[in-house]
Amino acid sequence: MLEFLKQPWPWYVGGALIGLTVPILLILGNKTFGISSSLRHLCAACLPAKIPYFMYDWKKEAWNLFFVAGVLGGAMLAANFLSDPNPLVVAESTKTYLAEKGITDTSALLPAEIFAWENVLSLRGFFFFVVGGFCVGFGTRYAGGCTSGHAIMGLSNLQWPSLIATMSFMVGGVVMTWFILPYLLTL
Amino acid sequence: MKDAKTPDPPVDPDFEQRSLDAVCVDESQLQHPWWHNLKYTAWGLMFGVVFVKTEIISWFRIQEMFRFESFHMYGVIGTAVLVGAMSVILIKRLKARTMHGETIVIHPKEFNKGQIYGGLIFGLGWAITGACPGPLFAQMGAGFGAISITFLFAVVGTWVYGLIRERLPH
């Protein structure tokens, strides 16, 4: 059983469990699925600085912080007790392309050539950690949601604004991947 | 148990603020002790395991997705939306209630231009970091300590948005 769970799980298992989060949160307490709001609650809790956008009772949304704490803990459990010793299977064409850019280490979920502490203070690190992180936080709040709030919750409820947001996510990602990342990877 | 009817909205500045966010619209009429929130942590744990085991938090999977070289992520998101949509239809049909007997209300999302501009910016960040906000938590949990820097700047980005939002086109 444990050996079975240690293999990578197929997409339909992950997809179904993530989809089930929508009704489960609704039934547990009428909560609408969304993760990026947790970043807003953190701002409201730690440094509201009299900014109207952060002047609200974040404790009423504390469930969201309890949820993401669980996500962090679950990932920790999976990485420690259910980890798969084999290297990641990456699509051959992606692998060839990344190898040309010097990214060859597929032993972990993230490439050690980029996401390591020693890169944080380099120019590469500036883009991959600082600019990337900033875009994720700024963009999701500006869009009013992320992959969970818009792509999954919003589309599940057939909301067209969420479809527009999801398409914008994809366009942004494709532009970065095809036109900007090739340069960033050479830094 | 008394029905939690949708109240005629008295002007509630706190609710107005929170509901700027798509997900912050729930105002439960029930008061629970704090540990009730642990039920969300429990499902969060499950969610974190799924994130790691389905390799959704992998930067490589996100590269494959945006390069259109693997079906994996499309399969995950597609299945999730399918299951989510069927659940929402069922909940509406059955007029399902929460485990505490409250009526389930799903608020519609209002369109504003931020969904385009913000969406594009988030897309750029998603492709660099290989993570949306959820996977950022999971990557840190899975032992990628340096991602705490990415996370820190995601919080900074959120904060800066709050600071300048009045001046941004919406």
Residue at A90 is within a domain: no
> For the residues B55-65, what does the mean pLDDT come to?
97
The Cα of B2 is separated from the nearest Cα of chain A by a number of Å equal to: 16
Of residues B12 and B50, more confidently modeled? B50
Are A6 and A77 within one domain? yes
> For the residues B45-50, what does the mean pLDDT come to?
97
> For the residues B66-91, what does the mean pLDDT come to?
96
Residue at A121 is within a domain: yes
CB atoms closer than 10 angstroms to residue B110: 12
Confidence at residue B92, expressed as pLDDT on a 0 to 100 scale: 93
C-beta of residue B121 within 8 angstroms of C-beta of residue A51: no
pLDDT band with cut points at 50, 70 and 90 for residue A2: confident
Q: Which of A135, A107, A109, A130 minimizes the C-alpha distance to A119?
A: A130
> For the residues A92-108, what does the mean pLDDT come to?
94
The Cα of A68 is separated from the nearest Cα of chain B by a number of Å equal to: 6
Inform me whether the pLDDT recorded for A49 exceeds 90. yes
Are A7 and A63 within one domain? yes
Residue at A124 is within a domain: yes
Q: What is each CA distance from A84 to A21, A58, A165, B113, in whole angstroms? A: 25, 38, 34, 43
Domain that holds residue A77: 1-83
Using DSSP's 3-state secondary structure scheme, residue B53 falls into helix
Confidence at residue B120, expressed as pLDDT on a 0 to 100 scale: 97
Are A74 and A140 within one domain? no
* Length of chain B as a residue count: 170
> For the residues B33-57, what does the mean pLDDT come to?
95
Residue at A89 is within a domain: no
CB contact (8 A) between residue A137 and residue B127: no
**Which 8-state DSSP code applies to residue A115?**
S
pLDDT band with cut points at 50, 70 and 90 for residue B20: low
Residue at A131 is within a domain: yes
- The residues, ordered by sequence, that sit 6+ positions from A32 with a Cβ below 8 Å of its Cβ are A25, A26, A149, A153, B22, B23, B25, B26, B106, B107
Report how far residue A54's alpha carbon sits from residue B165's, in angstroms, rounded to the nearest whole number: 11
Are A70 and A127 within one domain? no
Residue at A175 is within a domain: yes
From the list A12, A157, A177, the residue facing B66 with the nearest CB is A177
Final residue in a domain of this structure, among A59, A83, A107: A83
Are A125 and A172 within one domain? yes
The tens digit of pLDDT for each residue in A119-149 reads 999 999 999 999 999 999 999 999 999 999 9
Check if A180 contacts B (Cβ < 8 Å).
yes
Are A70 and A128 within one domain? no
A49: number of CA atoms within 13 Å, CB side? Answer: 11
From the list A39, A110, A144, the residue facing B58 with the nearest CB is A110
Interface size A-B, in CB pairs within 8 Å, comes to 552
The β-bridge partners of B97 are B103
Report how far residue A40's alpha carbon sits from residue A58's, in angstroms, rounded to the nearest whole number: 9
Structure tokens given for A7: 């293999």
pLDDT band with cut points at 50, 70 and 90 for residue B16: low
Confidence at residue B9, expressed as pLDDT on a 0 to 100 scale: 45
Structure tokens given for B67: 């390069």
Confidence at residue B31, expressed as pLDDT on a 0 to 100 scale: 76
Are A2 and A78 within one domain? yes
CA-based nearest residue in chain B for residue A54: B162
- Output the average pLDDT for chain A: 94
The tens digit of pLDDT for each residue in A29-43 reads 999 999 999 999 999
Report how far residue A69's alpha carbon sits from residue B115's, in angstroms, rounded to the nearest whole number: 27
User: Which residue shows structure tokens 């936080």?
Assistant: A137
